[in-house]
Structure 1
Amino acid sequence: MSATPSRASVPDWLEAPDDANALAPAVWPDAAGRGDDGVLRLGGVAATDLAARFGTPLYVLDEDLVRARARRVRAAFAEAASRAGTTARVYYAGKAFLSTEVVRWVTAEGLGVDVATGGELAVALAAGADPQRLGLHGNNKLLPEIARAVEVGIGSIIVDSRIEIERVAAAAAERGVVQSVLVRVNSGVHAETHDFLATAHEDQKFGFTLTDAEAAVARIRELPSLRFIGLHCHIGSQIFGTAGFEESAARVVELHARLLPGGDVPLLNLGGGFGIAYTTADDPTPIEQLAEGIVAAVARECAARSIPVPELAFEPGRAIVGQAGVTLYEVGTVKAVRLSGDLDRLYVSVDGGMSDNARPALYGAHYSARLAARTSTAAPALARVVGRHCESGDIVVDAEYLPGDVVPGDLLAVPATGAYCYSLASNYNYVPRPPVVAVSGGSARVIVRGETVDDLLARDVLAAPAVPEESA
C-alpha cells in the first residue's frame, strides 16, 4: 500500500494530503474540530459520544450553522437589493432538508419556505410557518395539494402548465378567494457548477418557454380567481459564479418588460442552486458576491429597458443546510484491491450507503471523509468508502486519502451531507433510515427519529399484527 498511485486511478483534483487527519475548513461545519484526544467534535459534542448515544449511521446537523447561514443569505440579498433600489425575499428550499425543527430555525431567522408537495406543505404548517410566507412548486401538483394550499392561504403557487392554471383557478373560485401565482419560465440557461449552457429551446419537464409564458400570463389575467404576481426561473444546482444567472436575468427581464403593458409584474424569483464545497476541489462563490452580482445584473437589464427593478426573490436550500450536516458511520470491513501496476485501493465498507446518501449513485457526486474517533500518523492511503447494499454502485466517497491503518470499528465522518441526503434516503435492502440529531452548544437532541426494522414490517400488511375489527 506504499506504492505511488497512478494518476489514472485518482481524480485530477485529489491530492495526497500531508495530514490525513486535517479538516478542510470550507467543507466542514464552522464549529467542527478535533479535541486534544483527536476526536472530532461537532457543535461541541464528541463524535464518539454521538455514535454511542444514537448509533450509526447518524445524520448530525449543526443548528447554529443553519441559523447563521440563513441570516447571512437573507442579509446578503437584502443589502444587494437595497443598493439596487428594491427589496428581496428569501425562501428556504425545503427539498434540500425538511423537518419541523428546521422550518422553525429558518423562519425564526426571517426566511419563507419553498415546498414542492402536499407532504412538504404539511411539515411546514406543522412547524407553525405562516402560510403567506410559503410558496408551492411542482410540475404536477395533485388536485388535493392545490386545494389544501389554497385553503390554508398559501402566499404563492408557482404554476407550471396551462392545465395547472385552470386547476388553481378552479380551486380558488370554489373557495371564494383570489390566489396569487407566479409563472415558471425556462430561460434557456442551464448552469451546473462551473459551466453554463445557453440554448434557444427547452427539453425538460418544468415551466413554460419564454414564448409560451406570455400566453400563460394573459390567461391568468383573464381569470378573476387568480392574481399574477410575477415570474419564476431556476437555472440549475450547485452553481459557482454569476455568469449563468446574469445570462438568465437578461432573458427573463426582457419577458418581464414585455408583460408590463398588460399590468403589474411586481416580483421576479430567480430560484436558487448556489453551490457549496464537498471536497477541497470546490471553491464556492461567497453568497455576498453572488447576491451582488445577480442583483446588479437584474438592475442593469432593467435600466437598459427603462423599467423599475421589481422585488426579487431567491430560494437557497443547499447553501443554508448543506455544510451544516455530517454523517457518521462505523467501518465494518477493510480490504485492499489491486489496481493497475503496484497500486492498491483500500475499500472501506461502512454500515450505511446509498440508502442514506443516494447522490453519488444518482449524480456521481464526490464527498470527503475523515476518521472521527482518533487521529493517525499512518501514511495516507487511497481509499474508496462504500456502503453495504447489494449494488456495485453503492459508493459513499469515490476517492479519498485516509490513514492507511483504518480498521473495522473505526468511526468515519462524511461532511457536507446536510442537503439531499436525508431527503433522498430510502429503505433499499430493507435498511431503516437513520435518525437526525441536532447539535448546538455542546448538547445534542434527536429532531427526526430513526427507523427500526419493526417500523418497516409494520407497513407490510401480511407481516404486521392483525388489527382486530371493532365489534358492531
Structure 2
Amino acid sequence: MHSAASSPAPDWLAVPDDANDLVRSVWPASAQRSADGELIIAGMSAGELVRIHGTPLQVLDEGEVRRRATTLRDAFDTAAAKHGTTARVYYAGKALLNTTIVRWMLDEELNVDVCTGGELEVALLAGADAARLGFHGNNKSVNELERAVAVGVGTIIIDSEIEIERLAQIVARTGAEQRVMLRVNSGVHAETHDFLATAHEDQKFGFPLTQAAAAVARIRELPGLVFAGLHCHIGSQIFGVAGFRESAARVLDLHKDLLAGGDVPQLNLGGGFGIAYTRVDDPVPIAELAEGIVSAVAEACRRRGISIPALSFEPGRAIVGNAGVTLYEVGTTKDVALGSGSRRYVSVDGGMSDNARPALYGAQYSARIASRVSTAGPQLVRVVGRHCESGDIVVDHEYLPGDVAPGDLLAVAATGAYCAPLSSNYNHVPRPPIVAVRDGAARVIVHGESLSDLLTRDAGIAP
C-alpha cells in the first residue's frame, strides 16, 4: 500500500478510512451492505441480479428516479408560486430514454423533452400525450417536423432560420397551428467541461442574442406559428446558481424588447443541474437551487419593470444519474509502478462501450466491490474496460480494498445518465440490459444484446 503523499492519486482524492463505504451523495438512497457485505439496491442484492442477468448490468433504482423527479417538480412549483408565476418541469430524455422512464415521468406529472424522431416515437409509444412533449434539435429533418406537427407536439424549440421556414411550410400545407420557442445563446459559459458548455457563441445550438429579435419577428409574421417564448440552456453538470442568474438577466433584456411586438409568455432556462459522482462533488440542494434561480429571474424582471413569465426547466441527469449503478465482474488485475508509488489496474468485462463519458469528457466516477466487504487496506486503482483502447477507462482514480481480485463484482455508481444512450458495440461487444429494481423485485426495462443480435446486422453472414 502507498500513502496519499507518495501515490499518483490526484489531490482531490483522499485515502478513505474504509474502502467499502458507500458515500450517501453518490449512491442511491436505498444502497446498503447486507450482513455478509454484499451490495443491496432497493432490496435486491448484486449477486442475485448478476446470477439472473449476468454482467455487465445496468441497474436503475425506480424509487430513486421517482423521488428525484417529484423533488424537482415540487421545488420549482414552490419557488415559482412564491414569486407569482408557474413552473413546468420537462424530463430531458437524452439522459436516458425508454418507454418505462417516460411512464415514470408522466406518473410524477413531469413533461418530457425529446430531440430526435426516434426519441419522439419512444415517448409516443409510452403513451405520452404529445401536448406534453418538447422537441429540441439543431437539425430536425422535414420528416421529423412533419411528424411532430401531425401528432400535436406541444412545443417545438426552433434552432435556426432554416427551421423557421421549414416549419412554416409544413403548417401552411397542413393547416395546423404550432407552438414554438426560440433557442438563444446568452453567451454565458457554464462552469463545466468545454464540450458540455452549450451557451457560448461559437457552437451549433440556437441564435446569438443579436440575431434573435429578427428571428422572432419572422415567426410572428408567419401564419400557423405561435411564438411561446425564449429558451436558453447554458450547459451541464452545473453546481451553482451564478451562471443561471447571469444568463437569465441577459435573456430577459431580449424578452423585454420583444414585449413591444407581442406576448412572450414563457422562459425556459434549460437544465444541467449537477450531481455527485465522487465524494468531493457538492451539488446545491434542489430546493435551494430552485429558489435561487427563480428568485434571480423575479428580481431581474422587477428591475426591468416587466412581469415574470411562466418558467420551465429541463433536468435529466439530476433525475436519473444517481439512480443508476453498473455491475461488472473483475477479470484481471495488475500493478503498475509510477514514480515512488503505484497504481493497480482493475479490468472489468465492460468499458467504454457501456460508459463512454470518461473517454469523451474525462468524467470521474466512484466504485466499490459489490460482492463482499474486505478488511484489506485501501489501494489506489484505475478501473479499465476490455476494449482495445488505452483510453478505455471506467473509473480513472479510486481507492478499493487492496485484495480486489478476479471474480469480484464491482459496482460503479451514478451511471444512470448518458451511459446507456451513448453506448456502442465497439469491438463487437453487446450492450448490456437495463434492470429496474424496487421493493426487492427486479424487471428488465431494456433488453440486453447477444452476439447473435450483432451478427444479424452483418450482410455477409448467411441467415
Q: What's the TM-score, normalizing by structure 2? A: 0.98
**C-alpha separation in 1, matches of 2:258 and 2:123:** 33
* 1:108 lines up with 2:107 in the alignment: yes
Residues 342-357 of structure 1: pairs in structure 2 closer than 5 A: 343-357=341-355
8 Å contact from structure 2 (residues 193, 361) kept in 1: no
**C-alpha separation in 2, matches of 1:404 and 1:397:** 16
Give CA deviations for 1:120-167 in whole Å, capped at 9, x if unaligned: 000000000110010000000011111110110000000001000011
Residue in 2 that maps onto 1:22 = 21
* 1:95 aligned counterpart, secondary structure: helix
Residue in 2 that maps onto 1:333 = 332
**C-alpha separation in 2, matches of 1:194 and 1:391:** 22
8 Å contact from structure 1 (residues 100, 126) kept in 2: yes
Q: 1:113 to 1:464 in 2, by over 3 A?
A: farther
Code of the residue aligned with 2:454 in structure 1: it is L
Residues 179-198 of structure 1: pairs in structure 2 closer than 5 A: 179-193=178-192
Residue in 2 that maps onto 1:470 = none
Residue 305 (structure 1) shift: 1.2
8 Å contact from structure 2 (residues 43, 438) kept in 1: yes
Give CA deviations for 1:209-236 in whole Å, capped at 9, x if unaligned: 1110000000000000100000000000
8 Å contact from structure 1 (residues 187, 248) kept in 2: yes
Code of the residue aligned with 1:59 in structure 2: it is Q
**C-alpha separation in 1, matches of 2:285 and 2:394:** 27
Give CA deviations for 1:237-283 in whole Å, capped at 9, x if unaligned: 00001000000010011110000010000000000000000001100
8 Å contact from structure 1 (residues 95, 317) kept in 2: yes
Residue 12 (structure 1) shift: 1.1
* 1:191 aligned counterpart, secondary structure: coil
8 Å contact from structure 1 (residues 193, 275) kept in 2: no
**C-alpha separation in 1, matches of 2:315 and 2:46:** 28
8 Å contact from structure 2 (residues 142, 166) kept in 1: yes
**C-alpha separation in 2, matches of 1:95 and 1:130:** 18
* 1:336 aligned counterpart, secondary structure: strand
8 Å contact from structure 1 (residues 457, 464) kept in 2: no
8 Å contact from structure 2 (residues 189, 199) kept in 1: no
Residue in 2 that maps onto 1:130 = 129
8 Å contact from structure 2 (residues 188, 200) kept in 1: no
8 Å contact from structure 1 (residues 194, 239) kept in 2: no
Code of the residue aligned with 2:98 in structure 1: it is S
Residue in 2 that maps onto 1:419 = 417
Give CA deviations for 1:11-51 in whole Å, capped at 9, x if unaligned: 11101111000000000000000011100001100000001
Residue in 2 that maps onto 1:210 = 209
Give CA deviations for 1:86-119 in whole Å, capped at 9, x if unaligned: 0000000000000000000011100000000000
**C-alpha separation in 1, matches of 2:68 and 2:155:** 24
Residue in 2 that maps onto 1:226 = 225
**C-alpha separation in 2, matches of 1:393 and 1:200:** 28
Residue in 1 that maps onto 2:359 = 361
Report how many aligned residue pairs link the two structures: 462
Residue 172 (structure 1) shift: 1.6
**C-alpha separation in 1, matches of 2:312 and 2:48:** 41
Residue in 2 that maps onto 1:373 = 371
Residue 3 (structure 1) shift: 3.0
Q: 1:201 to 1:111 in 2, by over 3 A?
A: closer
Residue in 2 that maps onto 1:59 = 58
**C-alpha separation in 2, matches of 1:199 and 1:91:** 18
* 2:271 aligned counterpart, secondary structure: coil
* 1:399 aligned counterpart, secondary structure: strand
Q: What's the TM-score, normalizing by structure 1? A: 0.96
Residue 190 (structure 1) shift: 1.2
8 Å contact from structure 1 (residues 193, 240) kept in 2: no
Residue 199 (structure 1) shift: 12
8 Å contact from structure 2 (residues 198, 205) kept in 1: no
* 1:236 aligned counterpart, secondary structure: coil
8 Å contact from structure 2 (residues 37, 372) kept in 1: yes
Give CA deviations for 1:335-371 in whole Å, capped at 9, x if unaligned: 1111112x22110000000000000000000000000
Residue 4 (structure 1) shift: 2.6
The CA RMSD over aligned residues, in Å, is 1.6
- Structure 1: 5+ residue stretches without partners: 466-472
Q: 1:172 to 1:264 in 2, by over 3 A?
A: same
**C-alpha separation in 2, matches of 1:9 and 1:37:** 32
* 2:412 aligned counterpart, secondary structure: strand
**C-alpha separation in 1, matches of 2:418 and 2:111:** 19
Residue 193 (structure 1) shift: 4.3
Residue in 1 that maps onto 2:407 = 409
* 2:363 aligned counterpart, secondary structure: coil
**C-alpha separation in 2, matches of 1:382 and 1:169:** 58
* 2:94 aligned counterpart, secondary structure: coil
* 1:165 aligned counterpart, secondary structure: helix
Residue 464 (structure 1) shift: 4.7
* 1:289 lines up with 2:288 in the alignment: yes
Residues 70-469 of structure 1: pairs in structure 2 closer than 5 A: 70-193=69-192, 202-341=201-340, 343-465=341-463
Code of the residue aligned with 2:393 in structure 1: it is I
8 Å contact from structure 2 (residues 18, 378) kept in 1: yes
